[in-house]
Chains A and B, each alone.
Chain A
């Protein structure tokens, strides 16, 4: 695999505010690369620079060897963007939205008609072909955004929180479609706050926080390195901590107190499970470690606004 996107010391400033603070990364052709992070971490700013709608303040950023700049029509021509906000043309129908968009890419009319019919089928909006946008549910609108992003048959797709605000059915349908695209060889860049989404779709992820990349790796290695295999959550009052930590000291687990809960992060949960049964504590949860644990550990558990 060769790298399709290269960023070196990429920086984005809005006035005095630094949104992206000198990050470096490489994205390989055909992989799904995820940007994870809380609100305001700099994910959207980063991908806006990748698809050339926001100028790079400092550092270098190339897509397929071409430097990113807002006037780079070549990059835009082969990139599909699924935006975070629903930016459909509300004056037009589902079909017209796609037809009008095909113009912007200079797709010949006849070719566009075929593609539009295919895409409407792909996102399962056949019954809504001639409906106006305000007659669609949020899930349908998001699907139409995906279809719109595919009109130019892009080799790079950028999805900015594509399932925000959707019900589970709609979310799973979108995940399936994105995986389908990836299997066709498309490179996918995803930003998300949903850890399950990242685990479902991404080959590699970076965790961003305050404009910086904190960690990079596959979801599995990040979980292994940062958390381990198992997590034990014990809801217990704080004055019991010392005793409990003492009695579990032999299992080489990391621990963390958050609010009403004491967390243990363990390499091997087998023995600790036995010990927990022995201790017979109420309100204990023992579960496999997830990406969410990594995320919370790296970006802190306090509310970010």
Chain B
């Protein structure tokens, strides 16, 4: 183990606290605060992984996880970016995608076969002869993919989610972000600041360079961080990566839990009034031969490795940079003890003279207009070749680290996700936003600023703007002062007014002036690649895409970066566009310009999540909510077996016999009780309530008699049945109606939609959840009911199809209906949900002597099928209209004024002889019932079985089917095709419906 700095003031590790974890089966020690990768680096590991395609050795490159170079399996989870995953006690860390080890990978020979694998080679090979493809495919699958996921893996940890609401969310906890948060919070608004690293500070955090006289940048960072964390108006979410941005300033991300947190990771979804994006820049990779060899790393990686983690990346480094931060790092690392072979600067001029002076003082040679062209060394850098930009003169240097960076690129993902359009700026050589989404502001380095003061000032300005965006004016009614108000009366708003916080733009003006006085955006570098042919120069590390591959794709006609991305896979790997995102469009534009077709620099699309996010984290607490009826608990204790039906959980069975013999027979012979609370229940009232009912129901609803139950149906514009249920007139202009369970959620909107132009005066209330329903059915039902009420419930006083309201025990208001869905004497009680348990218990108690038992949804299904009562969705489908179901009697043709939904279609369909028709059937030779969903066929498909059962009540198999109408005649033989039947068929015969109690004496008596 190498010696580490343990006294640097910039350290974010605690060298006194050891973290021991297992690496490839061996114990490995790091310090608290180490990432897995930095701990491994300190332990001498240089080759962390092998690349996807060529199995090239890969090492620590950026420390920010833009590529998969340091992806490993950690605690059974593959593709963990170890460079920014904190090391924890006892972690299991393994290499992935290697045969042998990352250090000695037996698949490394593939790197030499790259000539066989030009861009898109797989589309042009392996398919001839055709028999070869399945064999090849197996090999492709084996070779593809990085990590291994075991099918029975259980992800450890606790995952949570929070949905905070805030005035301003600041993304990025660097100097600009912190200033923005402070400025906004000082205006009195609520602020959340998100920072992906475990600490605030950004690129000030690790730098020893001077911020102001005698104050290094890192001190400034800590000073700002303290202020931010102490501010009561700011909620600080550290170790929180932003992953998505959506309409109306919805920002998502995830936070990694630390010691003492109640979560391992948690999903964070923030709704903000205004957003400040201050996420800074990443380094634009420099492309040269073997530009991803272990030992090649970006400036901030080498610098942070030393300053944050106390590790010198190597003994001797060669710098090839294009930015003053590179020079600063060279000086600082030299001072920390690293030998610097030379600093090659892409720029011919424009360097900060003070930095040049410092370099000269240290005798570090600086070559302006030079760039590294090749890294030598098979697994690790041993030597570097540098050349002039035109490639004419070269020099070699021995070194074991190449610090390489072409410049910077702003992290624009947070902006483009929110809808910003980018343009290429030729001064900064950045993609910068042409327009910003509403109430979104940017600040800091991503705007091209380099000067520390200017970066902070831009943060302050953005913070003030964001605060003003979210402040409501208390004096003049204007929405905000920071932006021109395009809508309506901004007359009142005076630019100098300071009547309230929202309108006080003095601070805004001051911040604008302050920023203006400071240095503006600095010039960026254009260089894309060193002067190389590009066979081993990688534009995308994750997908092993070389410059040569990109050229091949362009030559093949792929001229748009987005298409090249698809064809070469560049930017589609685990790190997405992190490495190639900026270079690819730049290279394509440059290359096309060479061939005489000048093209604009068009960025590829950045998509969420901006940081790869665990599915467990997105799932959070993983609550999928289902509705439960008031009888849920009681039915469960009675042995109910529940199923999810739509949004509900319902008791489908009450025993292991899924044919429900006992339940069915008890309803037919004694009395049963069913929880029907999932039915849609509505009240509609008002002077135009009837008109609305006439519009949506097919029957003439004006004929509903008081005290009677009206069964009817709703159709859609195609005449297809969407709902059926009962309607009761409870008073003048006041109706109560039920819908099927599945339609409960949509009914109010359905009625409103179909009356939207009429201006009718009515109100609707959805009572589905506030009312429960008990269905009491069977020959003994009346006896049970009579026991709990004084109301006369005799057949004369309360006949079939009648409606009554009464009180049970003077307390429970009951809406009672005589219905006959299951074909027996039957009551449906609608009572307030809170009384359901009481009524249920009373009925249960009263019914004891009559053999009362629960029955579930499946028993009901069979009972009603025997009676040929339909269930929508079972005996109907989307295209089934009212007439197809034989429910034409529900359609009143005379009420044309009502413009009943579906009436026109029904009138047209009436003449159509080619539609389906619902029929009842029995099986030939007393055969078994066919399986639901079987087909009715002859030389083609003619229909299908809706529901069929071996009926206990009838002692034979019966069912209903939808068949073409010419087959609906009684006596027609039905040829039934079941799955896996081969050439075997079974046969049924169309019979009259219903099967059970055809004259209805049981349900009416």
Determine if chain A interacts with chain B: no
